[in-house]
A = this chain, B = another copy of it.
Amino acid sequence: MRRPTLEAVAARAGVSRATVSRVVNGSATVNPEIRAAVLRAVDELGYIPNPAARSLVTRRTGSIGLVVSEPPARVFSDDPFFSLVVRTVSQELEAADKQVVLMMPSSPAGQSRVERYVAGRHVDGVILLSQHGSDPLPAALLRTGVPVVSHGRPVSTARPPYCDVDNVGGARAAVEHLLAGGRRRIAAITGPLDMSAGLDRLAGYREVLSGNGRRSLAAIGDFTRESGADAMRQLLEDDPGLDAVFAASDLMASGALHALRRAGRRVPDDVAVVGFDDIAGARFTDPPLTTVRQPIAEVARAIVRMLLTGADGGADPEIFPTELIVRDSA
């Protein structure tokens, strides 16, 4: 049951292979009648072009690689961030008639596999997701010459074009809200400090505090709920008198809420809590979470656009604003 080829379609339609190719690829310069005959033959035979043959000559694959560099801890958690980004990127690429090849290297061997895969031109471009500063992959990918863009500001030495949200501004808004609510001792639970989202949200927090002559008090988390609970416990030990916490992710805020409840603190009465992300679960925490909304899907769409329009190398980063959503926790 060999599948029909261009050759077979040409024979059936009584034209050359070149003509069939033109029709199949939508070239304008084909006589309408001949086009109709070819289309009929394609239909009758159930012809579908062989992608390998096609890309052998065109040197394009129609596929885009989505590389997620994230240790399992976070992706295995119920962090909705990845689902949302992956889903949105997938939809945008579908609209552009591209396929998405998902790569989540989980070891050095996996990384070099990704590198070879991209260098071998299996994909026409790659989108980098959640880069860590120590990750050697971005630089390696950039060297392949394949177009690379980053979802989130890169922190490594490799500097692909990127899109991101205003992490610093979002953190500032959160802390200013806490200050305006009369909070005196505001702690922070940070994200990983080798990621721009972790770094920038911490920077925003610090800017506001130091601008108001206050000291910072931070504990490091990794964006997961567990790490938020741990960090909260530590913060409570470091300074039992704290009356507010800014967590760099909603999941960590949710973990903090849990730890606070265990410690017998009331939220927001004793301690106010602000998160970051505005995930779907934010309105279901107890109490509902005040948080900084970031337009995750918009950034995902923008990064696909950036890759597809191929403003190679020189593209300016596109930064989206965040918005403070006030609920009951602060």
Contact A90 B104 (CB under 8 A): yes
Known: A75-B83, A226-B280. 8 other contacts (CB 8 A): A52-B61, A76-B80, A76-B83, A78-B79, A90-B102, A99-B103, A254-B281, A258-B286
- Flag whether A195 is at the interface (Cβ < 8 A): no
- CB-CB < 8 A to A1: which residues of B? 145
Which of A110-118, A155-163, A207-215 lines the interface with chain B? Answer: A110-118
Asked, given contacts A97-B113, A280-B225, A284-B255, whether A91 binds B120 with beta carbons under 8 Å apart, the answer is no
Q: Count how many chain A residues have C-beta atoms less than 8 Å from C-beta atoms of the other chain.
A: 59
Question: How many copies of this chain?
Answer: 2
Cα A56 to Cα B51 with chains together (Å): 8
Which residue numbers of A lie inside 8 Å of B, CB to CB?
1, 3, 48-53, 55-56, 61, 63, 66, 72, 75-80, 82-84, 86-87, 90-91, 94, 97, 99-106, 110, 113, 116-117, 119-122, 145, 224-226, 229, 254-255, 258, 261, 279-281, 284, 286
Cα A186 to Cα B76 with chains together (Å): 32
- CB-CB < 8 A to A113: which residues of B? 94, 97
- CB-CB < 8 A to A76: which residues of B? 80, 83-84, 87, 280
- CB-CB < 8 A to A255: which residues of B? 284
Closest to A3 in B: B121
- CB-CB < 8 A to A84: which residues of B? 76
Cα A80 to Cα B87 with chains together (Å): 13
Contact B116 A281 (CB under 8 A): no
- CB-CB < 8 A to A79: which residues of B? 78, 80, 83
Cα A61 to Cα B122 with chains together (Å): 10
Which of B101, B105, B261 has a CB less than 8 Å from the CB of A63? B101
Contact A78 B77 (CB under 8 A): no
The 19 sampled A-B contact pairs (Cβ below 8 Å) are: A48-B119, A50-B56, A51-B52, A52-B55, A52-B56, A66-B102, A76-B83, A76-B84, A78-B78, A78-B281, A91-B106, A99-B103, A99-B117, A99-B122, A101-B102, A225-B281, A225-B284, A261-B286, A286-B286
Cα A90 to Cα B76 with chains together (Å): 12
- CB-CB < 8 A to A261: which residues of B? 286
Cα A45 to Cα B132 with chains together (Å): 31
- CB-CB < 8 A to A104: which residues of B? 87, 90-91, 94
Cα A284 to Cα B224 with chains together (Å): 12
- CB-CB < 8 A to A280: which residues of B? 76-78, 224-226
Asked, given contacts A48-B120, A280-B225, whether A94 binds B100 with beta carbons under 8 Å apart, the answer is no
State how many angstroms separate the Cβ of A189 from the closest Cβ of chain B.
Answer: 15
- CB-CB < 8 A to A106: which residues of B? 91, 94
Contact B75 A78 (CB under 8 A): no
Asked, given contacts A119-B48, A121-B50, A286-B286, whether A101 binds B100 with beta carbons under 8 Å apart, the answer is yes
